[in-house]
């Protein structure tokens, strides 16, 4: 499995913890984020993550910024991307099980490092339920009206 990860300055410390956690599990990481706490523009790190998932170079993506909102909004502009902003473990589980989220967006300023790792674990271990949810997922892409 390959995970693309991207972050702005607000998510740097959590990113390093997530990478260490995933590498211990034998997961390959593609790091598109900043490695410093110097201010930077989140889209510069998020677009490459979304692109990697979009074209199949990564199975999933994990993105982090202060609120998680800007990161999710950026990623969701890519075809086939379903980035879910999650701040509770139940949201992570539903994002995967019902929405088949392929990118997890974490609000680094509003969750603990322990929660971030728990959310990553839930994200990677929850399967999409399909069924009635598949029909809804197929209606997400913009169509001509």
Domains of the chain: 2-137 (3.40.1400.10)
Q: 120 falls in which pLDDT band (50, 70, 90)?
A: very high
Q: How far apart are CA 32 and CA 19, in angstroms?
A: 12
pLDDT confidence band for 139 (50 / 70 / 90): confident
Percent of the chain at pLDDT > 70 equals: 97
Q: Average pLDDT in the 12-22 region?
A: 98
Mean pLDDT of the chain: 96
Which pLDDT score, from 0 to 100, does residue 124 have?
Answer: 98
Tokens of 37: 């706490």
Rounded distance, CA 121 to CA 139, Å? 28
Two structure tokens written together for 131: 């069924």
79 is an active site residue? no
Rounded CA-CA distance 26/46 in Å is 23
Model confidence at 138, in pLDDT bands (50, 70, 90)?
Answer: confident
Torsion angle defined by CA atoms of residues 77, 122, 16 and 61, in that order, rounded to the nearest 10 degrees: -20
> Which pLDDT band holds residue 143 (cuts at 50, 70, 90)?
low
- Specify the pLDDT at position 144: 55
Closest CA to 30 of 55, 6, 4, 53: 4
The whole-number pLDDT of residue 135 equals 87
The per-residue pLDDT for range 84-105, each reduced to its tens digit, is 999 999 999 999 999 999 999 9
Q: Nearest 5 degrees, angle CA 52-CA 42-CA 89?
A: 75
Q: At what angle do helices 12-24 and 113-125 cross, to 10 degrees?
A: 50
Q: Buried b / exposed e across 45-64, counting CB within 10 Å, b at 16+?
A: bbbbbbbbbbeeebebbbbb
**What's the predicted TM-score (pTM) here?**
0.95
d(CA 68, CA 75): 11
**Residue of 47, 78, 98, 133 with catalytic role:** 98
């Amino acid at each position: 499995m390959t995970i693309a990860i991207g972050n702005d300055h607000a998510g740097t410390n959590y990113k390093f913890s997530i990478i260490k956690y995933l590498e211990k599990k034998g997961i390959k990481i593609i790091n598109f984020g900043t490695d410093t706490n110097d201010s930077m523009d989140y889209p510069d790190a998020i677009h490459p993550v979304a692109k990697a998932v979009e074209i199949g170079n990564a199975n999933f993506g994990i993105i982090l910024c202060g609120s998680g909102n800007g990161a999710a909004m950026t990623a969701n502009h890519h075809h086939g991307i379903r980035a879910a902003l999650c701040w509770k473990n139940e949201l992570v589980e539903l994002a995967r099980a019902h929405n088949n989220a392929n990118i997890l967006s974490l609000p680094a300023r509003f969750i603990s490092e322990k929660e971030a790792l728990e959310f990553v674990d839930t994200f990677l271990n929850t399967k999409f339920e399909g069924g009635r949810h598949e029909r809804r997922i197929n209606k997400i892409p913009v169509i001509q009206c």
